[in-house]
Structure 1
Amino acid sequence: MLFSCSEKEVPNHKNSAKKHKNPYYEKAFVFLDKNEQDSAFYYLNKGKDLFTKLDDSLGIGKSYVNMAIIQETTGDNFGSIESSITASKFLKENDTTHYQSVFCNYNNLGVASNNLKNYKDAKRFYDKALLFTKDPIDKMSLANNIAIVYHNEKQYGKAVEIYQKLIDSVGLKSEFYPKLLLNFSRSKWFENPNYSPVQNYLKAELLSESLQDDWTKDAAYAYLSAYYLNKNKDSAKLYSEKMLSLAKDLKYPIDQLEALQNLIRISDAPHSQNYFENYSRIQDSLTNAQNKAKNQFALIRFESEKAKAENLIWQQEHEEHEHQVERQKLIIWGIIIITSILSFFIFIWIKRRRRRLILEANNKLQEQRLDFSKRVHDVVANGIYEVMTTLENQNDVPKEKLLDKLELMYEKSRDLSYDKVSTQDFNEKIFGLVSSFDNENIKIIIIGNEIDFWSNVSENEKEEWFQILRELLVNMKKHSQATQVILKFSKENGKSEILYSDNGVGLAENFQEKNGFANIKSRLVELKAELMIEKSPSGGLKLSIKY
């Protein structure tokens, strides 16, 4: 759990030494109290414009800081960093009246950078923020956030050390104690898998309930469900359902998605399908809301800058109107002379450059044609020749044998334009394969496709698994008429399992194996894997591959 600088922690003008009052700035916090982020952002932007007219550097900086915090809260991390960088141009680090705003600005840069997994930048910004505060709560928040970064970097020991000091300093009765206890216990568990954080998680849940802190209680449910996910499915389901219910009350879709993902992973097929449908609906709604917020913030800034630019243009035109005629004549003649000279030299340069580019393009195209021609000859021409030879020398050629040869040629020719050398992790390659089939008509969710799942698989075996999964997805797209697909990768007791299920038409009762399905089975035999076809009660196709 990150500690971010609340918008109200940036001091407003009623509590500062500035004499300027700004009704737009004050009104923004009224909307923030109502959690109306768009309206708050709008009035902060108008307040910034008024502070600009009043030449109030601190007011401008604070407006940008608050806009940056709103953008980070709504998921627009890049926009948030941009606003914070703009704020830094108006905040004076050598002026103590600016310190609180500078602190919040650096802290927000750290939070947004951590969200974007730029951990090195996040620590750098947190260290800078520490220079501009003496408040113990601010220092505690920074220490917690730095510990979060260490946890994300998998330096769990450093995170535990920081959390232990913070817990000792705040005491059991502090409102921050449950949050810190949760973070401490999670990092301790990650550091030592034999350590059980459950007692501390439950204690934090109980304390947060007495403090009426639903956000911390929601985090406790999240940590409990994560702990039990691979240990006790019943407990994992219990806390995931509690997390889902509370996240709905808090109107926090990110935790709803996390809870649903856990429930999809541990539930049977009918319930998993229902959870998947809710997951897809919330994911689409969240994406639309985030895009809408980003567009709204950008539009507000754009309209403001546009109005400012138009006003400046009008002022410049008014000031220069009296001198425009005489100066214009001089400029025109100067432009004509310079343009004529430049045009001549540019024409010569363009002509020479064009010749050179055409020559280079022709040479490159020729090289590409030769290379591609060679590859086509090696793959396609040789394959066709092999089929022709078979037809010529064998009178009773089985149709299936010819189809197999042609399908092999098709697969090879389809791969001509792809570079086989790849440095990406294999799980990322699988994600890329699945993404190529995922569209508005077919929703595919993939679970458990982590680096560790493929850690003991050789490169040759990985290629076989890739071909098997691709064949499954090709058959799905060609024949199943499915709109929803689940691919689940899991390990248990040293055995690996790949579970595929869809909501398509399933296999016909008189189903006969064709080339694609036969290829899958032959590859599985080579891999010493076992294929089981299960009948799904909700229809569709369900396959289990164990090895």
Structure 2
Amino acid sequence: MKRNKIILLFFTFFCLITYAQVKVDTLKSNELIKRTKEKLYLSTGDEKLAKKYYLIGYNYNLLNNSDSAYKYFSKSKFLYESLNDSLNIALKLFSLGKIESKKELFFKSDSTLVSALKYLGKRKDNHKITASVYNILGINSNMQGNYSQAIKWYDDALKLTVDSTRTARYLSNIGNNYILLGEYNKSIEIYNEIVQNGFLNKIDLTLKGKVLDNFNYVKFLNNDKVKESDFLETQRLKKTINDIDGLITNYSYLSDFFREKNITKSKSYAKKMYDLAVKYNRYNDRVIAIDKMLALANKSELQRLAIERNKIKDSIVLAHKKTANKFAKNIYNYEEEKKQKLEARAQLAESTLSLEKQKSQKQLWIFVVILTILSSIVYFIYKREKNKKEKAIEVYKTETRLAKKIHDELANDVYAVMSTLQNNQTTDFNLLDRVGKIYAQTRDISHENSPVLTGEQFENFLKQLFLDFTNDRSKVIHKGLQEVNISELAKEKQIVVYRALQELLVNMKKYSEATLILITFSVEKNKLSVAYQDNGVGTESIKIKNGLQNMETRIKSIGGLVTFESKQEKGFQAKFQFKK
């Protein structure tokens, strides 16, 4: 026994000595490789080539070819990084973040823009570009519905701005977000500041029209004195400069202005907004116009408008997914290209140090043997966990295939029947209503099992799920989502979280009659906990079947636990947790 202990101690001491020697040799080799790499980077980091790439990207951007523009801006940034040119790195990061924002990849855009701010620092000669970065961060927050944060970013941009046009633009952005927050008096103060400081005489006509229209609209919302002629004056200005976006907004404001005063005029302006949106393929504005028309429509128009709205909304979602996937693929391809270039340079550098590496390799073989032995001990545990993950992924793939089949075959067939019945002008409205309900059910099933966007975008994708289940009758509130860093979870765990919450929300929509739903995220001892609670009708006894059974199976597949609790008239509660 004593002899075995001595042998074990000797073996441990030998391993430590060998490891220390290998570590020292490796550090020396890595340092030599690093110095060689730096020489290679500086030799190929040609400033003229970096400028050329940026110019190509700039021209692609003017032609609205954002994919190619993104590629060349990235190439330019890569070369400026090799030159350690912090200002130009920041400028290229700003260009990349701006494109990511337009593609609605807001999380990635925020990350890119924050990196730009780090390179810019606090130098006064960088204030103009820094203000522009803050402005895009404000736009990102605004587009995600975080209006208070958007105001803070715009205010930061304003503090660094002396140019009258930019000042007016940032003030207008702040005023518009106060409208969205319902703080009309603050918004009116902002627009008054623009007018009283004479900015309207110094800015371009497009911005002037936007400022005046928003000013009139917020005064109307605040029940201040405003006339139709005020809106019409701005309308004439926008027609003069062919400001299509501005005209669509103007017609929207006029429709709201007459909603309680003159239904005929309100419908007329909503129709003008609709016609302009159709003419210029503004699908989101078209949906907003249809919503206004639905609010004012008679019974005979309701079904036609509702069907049109659903078709457009589905098309927008599909088109957005295709565009986002294509852009993400392009980014991935470029990153792979960049990675290959780095690896090629590294190989060239390492070839000059082959003798150093050969020496280290001999000693590393000892550790290879040791690691092989240790690996065999943990292999069984790893294999078991891998099988669990593979089963969960296979279930997800099966659901996705079924969703696509339902959407591509069954839903389209039902929609074709609906169109046939309408074209034949059937008077059996009960039949039309029943077919319409079947179409809605198939579409819902397809949506419930559609692909889950994982990775960095998962948090925003999950927020969209909560928004989809929020309506006039029920509101979904979430707490702690940002703090738990849910986008860092493994792909299969993100899918399980999404499907589990989707199952609970679908169950709520069908049975619970809840008006308020609270979903709380927390982390304790490296365990992620998700608590669901609603104020629905509840039940005396919980029968775990169908949806809830599926949810329980999903949670268990990633080694988690789930509990359910419900009482009559006291709502429904569920909680699940698993290791991060």
Is 2:111 aligned against 1:82?
A: yes
Work out which of the residue numbers 181, 185, 189 in structure 1 matches 2:212: 181
2:359 match:
326
2:289 match:
259
Offset of residue 117 of structure 1? 2.0
Change (3 A) 1:430 1:251: same
Is 2:92 aligned against 1:59?
A: no
CA distance in 2, matches of 1:230, 1:48: 54
Change (3 A) 1:450 1:438: closer
What residue identity is the alignment partner of 1:49?
Answer: F
CA distance in 1, matches of 2:65, 2:168: 29
* 8 Å contact kept, 1:48–1:59: yes
CA distance in 2, matches of 1:54, 1:88: 18
1:234 match:
264
Work out which of the residue numbers 163, 166, 187 in structure 2 matches 1:159: 187
2:120 match:
91
Q: Deviations over 1:229-253 (max 9, x none)?
A: 3443211211111111222333322
Change (3 A) 1:338 1:32: closer
* 8 Å contact kept, 2:142–2:177: yes
* 8 Å contact kept, 1:188–1:195: yes
Change (3 A) 1:62 1:288: farther
* 8 Å contact kept, 2:475–2:515: no
CA distance in 2, matches of 1:88, 1:118: 21
Offset of residue 217 of structure 1? 1.7
CA distance in 2, matches of 1:294, 1:25: 23
- Equivalent residue of 1:229, what SS? coil
* 8 Å contact kept, 1:69–1:80: yes
2:240 match:
210
Work out which of the residue numbers 190, 205, 228 in structure 1 matches 2:221: 190
CA distance in 2, matches of 1:38, 1:309: 19
CA distance in 2, matches of 1:430, 1:132: 38
Q: Deviations over 1:502-527 (max 9, x none)?
A: xxxxxxxxxxxxxxxxxxxxxxxxxx
Is 2:147 aligned against 1:119?
A: yes
1:133 match:
161
CA distance in 2, matches of 1:100, 1:65: 12
What residue identity is the alignment partner of 1:208?
Answer: K
What residue identity is the alignment partner of 2:176?
Answer: I
* 8 Å contact kept, 2:290–2:305: yes
Work out which of the residue numbers 149, 153, 174 in structure 1 matches 2:177: 149
Change (3 A) 1:210 1:117: same
- Equivalent residue of 2:473, what SS? helix
Offset of residue 157 of structure 1? 0.8
2:138 match:
110
* 8 Å contact kept, 2:259–2:266: yes
Q: Deviations over 1:329-358 (max 9, x none)?
A: 2123245557868998x89xx9xxx9xxxx
What residue identity is the alignment partner of 1:264?
Answer: L
Change (3 A) 1:197 1:40: farther
Change (3 A) 1:41 1:244: farther
CA distance in 2, matches of 1:231, 1:463: 40
1:248 match:
278
Change (3 A) 1:327 1:462: closer
2:97 match:
68
Is 2:338 aligned against 1:308?
A: yes
Change (3 A) 1:269 1:78: farther
**Larger RCO, structure (CA 8 Å, separation 6 or more):** 2
Offset of residue 216 of structure 1? 1.5
Change (3 A) 1:36 1:274: farther
What residue identity is the alignment partner of 1:48?
Answer: K
CA distance in 2, matches of 1:172, 1:141: 11
CA distance in 2, matches of 1:430, 1:81: 25
Identity %: 25
Structure with the higher fraction of residues in helix conformation: 2
1:225 match:
255
CA distance in 2, matches of 1:296, 1:59: 27
Q: Deviations over 1:232-282 (max 9, x none)?
A: 321121111111122233332211110011112222234332223332232
CA distance in 1, matches of 2:59, 2:281: 20
1:299 match:
329
* 8 Å contact kept, 1:167–1:177: no
Deviates more, 1:167-176 or 1:55-64: 167-176
Counting only pairs closer than 5 Å after superposition, residues 415-430 of structure 1 correspond to structure 2 as 427-428=473-474
What residue identity is the alignment partner of 1:181?
Answer: L
Q: Deviations over 1:284-318 (max 9, x none)?
A: 22222322232233222222222222333343344
What residue identity is the alignment partner of 1:102?
Answer: T
* 8 Å contact kept, 1:38–1:293: no
Offset of residue 177 of structure 1? 2.8
Offset of residue 94 of structure 1? 1.4
Counting only pairs closer than 5 Å after superposition, residues 21-32 of structure 1 correspond to structure 2 as 22-32=51-61
CA distance in 1, matches of 2:298, 2:260: 15
Q: Deviations over 1:54-89 (max 9, x none)?
A: 443333322221222223234332332233223223
Counting only pairs closer than 5 Å after superposition, residues 350-389 of structure 1 correspond to structure 2 as none
Offset of residue 109 of structure 1? 0.2
Offset of residue 129 of structure 1? 1.8
CA distance in 1, matches of 2:472, 2:243: 42
What residue identity is the alignment partner of 2:153?
Answer: F
Change (3 A) 1:437 1:230: farther
Q: Deviations over 1:15-38 (max 9, x none)?
A: xxx977623322233333333333
- Equivalent residue of 1:101, what SS? helix
* 8 Å contact kept, 2:50–2:77: no
What residue identity is the alignment partner of 2:182?
Answer: K
* 8 Å contact kept, 2:91–2:116: yes
* 8 Å contact kept, 1:243–1:256: yes
CA distance in 1, matches of 2:49, 2:198: 38
CA distance in 1, matches of 2:61, 2:156: 27
CA distance in 2, matches of 1:131, 1:430: 36
* 8 Å contact kept, 2:50–2:75: no
1:283 match:
313
